[in-house]
């Protein structure tokens, strides 16, 4: 029984951790609501290939991936294109989501992981503050350790008792509601194959049109509700700017969610650890979460393997969170402030920043292993005079930047004080302050 591990939901990090644990002699079962052939979405994803190596996976076969094209960013008025120029060695790869899953699942099966498909996880089974199993539509399952890989709205995380100290919901401006669909391509374009638009059709969010050989890939992401009328309005705006995008829908067409917030303040309790979207591990501004989930899988599996007493208490599992914050979380959480800043700017202010070179293409040259603020705002000293000159004329924008700067300093300083060892009172106090910093800035 001590070697038994439950993975609730077949998220990427959960399956990768399952494989690493099974390879170390653990008896691991993944409980997934979908059927095997339904796993993953009907579209491609971009991620850092280096993450595969971290979980013992080889590079996929060459016919299964291609290197991502540079993106060109546009402000709301689309006056000034900001062209990324990511160095070749830093490029991410693009793969079909279903192929990523096929690779992860085949690898996990080869290590002895069991999968129970068509099984919806309903809630955790608790004994006091300890998670001892999961209630599912196929019955109750027990194990001393439950890995929560159910994604952003995980019913396991949301139904933990408050005494575990783990946030249940994601909070305001913390999820992108996304529509993604592929259309036919009705014209050729000369340049900028991958166009990303801030505040398309004046909606608080982003849109992209990526032009492929035979198709166009459109994504719309907003913070609030996404109605059919919104989808129609933003699609019309994107189509007007991209006449190559036809009207015939070929793939996709779902509305889904991506967390775009700071990582969960507390990711573990006795017998429980959250991973991937259920722990909000995506890069806050752009929503990429696959590579971080895989990297976290290695950290979680190592932590579980090192727990020789097989107790899986907060004391032992906290090491996983410390590892995650040291490697990734501490640089990701400041980015959540930058995302909140974007929610406070008007379309005109964002246009001004782009048109006047305060925000430049270099700032948006994001490579495969970019995780932190420095990667996104890689301001060279040479660009500073222009930026400052541009800003000096706009006290209204400076007024919005100052609280963001203050919050950035606060969160960086606060992350440095994260307790290295589990002490319930200290951890809960640290987590409460971490959440308060974001809440305060969000409501300012």
- Give CA–CA dist 189/330, Å, rounded: 40
Rounded to the nearest whole angstrom, what is the least distance from the CB of residue 236 to ligand FAD in the complex? 20
Give the C-alpha distances (Å, rounded to integers) separating 206 from 69, 91, 115, 239, 261: 18, 22, 36, 14, 16
Per CB under 6 A, 289 contacts ligand FAD:
yes
- Give CA–CA dist 312/14, Å, rounded: 16
Give 52's Cβ-side CA count (13 Å radius). 18
**What is residue 441's three-state secondary structure?**
helix
DSSP assignment of 2-55, as one string?
Answer: TTEEEEES--HHHHHHHHHHHHTT-EEEEE-SS-GGG-S-SSEEEE-THHHHHT
Per CB under 6 A, 120 contacts ligand FAD:
yes
Nearer to ligand FAD, 41 or 428 (CB): 41
Nearer to ligand FAD, 22 or 210 (CB): 210
Nearer to ligand FAD, 71 or 265 (CB): 71
Can you tell me which of 174, 211, 262, 288 binds ligand FAD, judged by CB under 6 A?
288
- Torsion (CA) 37, 40, 42, 45 in degrees, nearest 10: -140
CB atoms within 10 A of CB 435: 16
Using left for φ > 0, alpha for ψ between -120 and 50, and beta otherwise, residue 128 falls in left
Nearer to ligand FAD, 6 or 358 (CB): 6
Could you say which residues in the range 151-170 bind ligand FAD, by CB under 6 A? 151, 155
Rounded to the nearest whole angstrom, what is the least distance from the CB of residue 58 to ligand FAD in the complex? 19
Rounded to the nearest whole angstrom, what is the least distance from the CB of residue 9 to ligand FAD in the complex? 3
Per CB under 6 A, 210 contacts ligand FAD:
no
Nearer to ligand FAD, 82 or 210 (CB): 210
Can you tell me which of 287, 335, 363, 427 binds ligand FAD, judged by CB under 6 A?
287
Pick the piece of the chain touching ligand FAD (CB under 6 A) from 31-39, 102-110, 319-327, 330-338: 31-39
Site string for ligand FAD, 224-263 (x = CB under 6 A): --------------------------------x-x-----
Can you tell me which of 141, 175, 180, 319 binds ligand FAD, judged by CB under 6 A?
180
β-strands 145-148, 272-274: how paired?
Answer: parallel
Per CB under 6 A, 13 contacts ligand FAD:
yes
Q: Do 20 and 297 touch, CB atoms closer than 8 A? A: yes
Per CB under 6 A, 11 contacts ligand FAD:
yes
Nearer to ligand FAD, 28 or 345 (CB): 28
Rounded to the nearest whole angstrom, what is the least distance from the CB of residue 10 to ligand FAD in the complex? 4
Pick the piece of the chain touching ligand FAD (CB under 6 A) from 57-65, 146-154, 186-194, 303-311: 146-154
Site string for ligand FAD, 405-424 (x = CB under 6 A): --------------------
Can you tell me which of 6, 7, 9, 147 binds ligand FAD, judged by CB under 6 A?
9
Rg of the chain's alpha carbons, rounded to an integer? Answer: 22
Could you say which residues in the range 39-78 bind ligand FAD, by CB under 6 A? 39, 45-47
Rounded to the nearest whole angstrom, what is the least distance from the CB of residue 444 to ligand FAD in the complex? 28
Nearby residues of 399 by Cβ (< 8 Å), 6 or more positions away:
none
Longest dimension (CA), the chain: 66
**What is residue 67's three-state secondary structure?**
strand
Query: Binding residues for ligand FAD, how many (CB under 6 A)?
Result: 33
Per CB under 6 A, 290 contacts ligand FAD:
yes
DSSP assignment of 79-134, as one string?
Answer: -S-EE----GGG--EEEEHHHHHHHHHHHHHHTT-EEE-S--EEEEEEETTEEEEE
Tokens of 10: 């077949």
Can you tell me which of 84, 282, 333, 365 binds ligand FAD, judged by CB under 6 A?
282
DSSP assignment of 206-252, as one string?
Answer: EEEEEE-SSEEEEEEEESS---HHHHHHHHHHHHHH-TTEEEEEEEE
Phi/psi at 37 (nearest 5 deg)? -75, -5
Q: Do 233 and 205 touch, CB atoms closer than 8 A? A: no
Pick the piece of the chain touching ligand FAD (CB under 6 A) from 166-174, 232-240, 281-289, 306-314: 281-289
- Give CA–CA dist 123/150, Å, rounded: 11
Rounded to the nearest whole angstrom, what is the least distance from the CB of residue 43 to ligand FAD in the complex? 7
Pick the piece of the chain touching ligand FAD (CB under 6 A) from 78-86, 107-115, 194-202, 275-283: 275-283
Chain positions contacting ligand FAD, by CB under 6 A = 9-13, 31-34, 39, 45-47, 120-121, 149-151, 155, 178, 180, 256, 258, 276-278, 282, 287-291, 293
């Amino acid at each position: 029984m001590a070697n038994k591990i439950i993975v609730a939901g077949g998220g990427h990090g959960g399956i990768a951790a399952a494989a690493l644990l099974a390879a170390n002699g653990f008896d691991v079962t993944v409980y997934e609501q979908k059927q095997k052939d339904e796993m993953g979405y009907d579209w491609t994803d971009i991620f850092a290939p280096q993450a595969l190596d971290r979980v013992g996976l080889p590079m996929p076969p060459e016919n299964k991936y291609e290197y991502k094209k540079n993106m060109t960013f546009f402000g709301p008025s689309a006056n000034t294109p900001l062209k990324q120029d990511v160095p070749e060695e830093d490029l991410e790869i693009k793969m079909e989501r279903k192929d990523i899953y096929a690779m992860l699942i085949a690898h996990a099966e080869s290590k002895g992981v069991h999968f129970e498909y068509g099984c919806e996880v309903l809630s955790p089974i608790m004994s006091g503050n300890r998670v001892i199993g999961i209630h599912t539509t196929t019955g109750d399952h027990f194990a001393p350790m439950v890995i929560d890989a159910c994604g952003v709205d995980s019913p396991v995380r949301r139904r933990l008792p408050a005494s575990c100290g783990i946030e249940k919901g994601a909070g305001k401006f913390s999820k992108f509601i996304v529509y993604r669909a592929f259309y036919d391509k009705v014209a050729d374009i000369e340049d900028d194959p991958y166009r990303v638009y801030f505040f398309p059709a004046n909606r608080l969010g982003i849109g992209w049109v990526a032009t492929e050989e035979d198709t166009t890939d459109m994504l719309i992401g907003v913070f609030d509700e996404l109605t059919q009328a919104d989808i129609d309005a933003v699609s019309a705006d994107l189509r007007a700017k991209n006449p190559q995008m036809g009207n015939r829908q070929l793939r996709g067409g779902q509305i889904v969610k991506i967390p775009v917030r700071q990582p969960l303040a507390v990711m573990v309790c006795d017998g429980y650890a959250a991973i991937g979207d259920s722990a909000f591990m995506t890069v806050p501004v752009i929503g990429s979460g696959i590579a971080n989930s895989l990297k976290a899988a290695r950290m979680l599996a190592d932590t579980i393997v090192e727990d020789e007493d097989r107790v899986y208490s907060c004391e032992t599992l906290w090491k996983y969170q410390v590892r995650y914050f040291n490697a990734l979380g501490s640089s990701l959480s400041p980015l959540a402030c930058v995302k909140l800043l974007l929610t406070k700017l008007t379309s005109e202010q964002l246009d001004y920043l782009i048109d006047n070179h305060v925000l430049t293409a270099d700032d948006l040259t994001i490579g495969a292993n970019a995780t932190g603020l420095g990667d996104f705002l890689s301001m060279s000293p040479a660009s500073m005079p222009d930026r400052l000159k541009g800003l000096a004329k706009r006290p209204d924008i400076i007024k919005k930047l100052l609280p963001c700067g203050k919050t950035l300093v606060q969160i960086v300083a606060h992350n440095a004080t994260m307790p290295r060892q589990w002490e319930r009172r200290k951890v809960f106090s640290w987590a409460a302050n971490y959440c308060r910093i974001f809440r305060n800035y969000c409501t300012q």
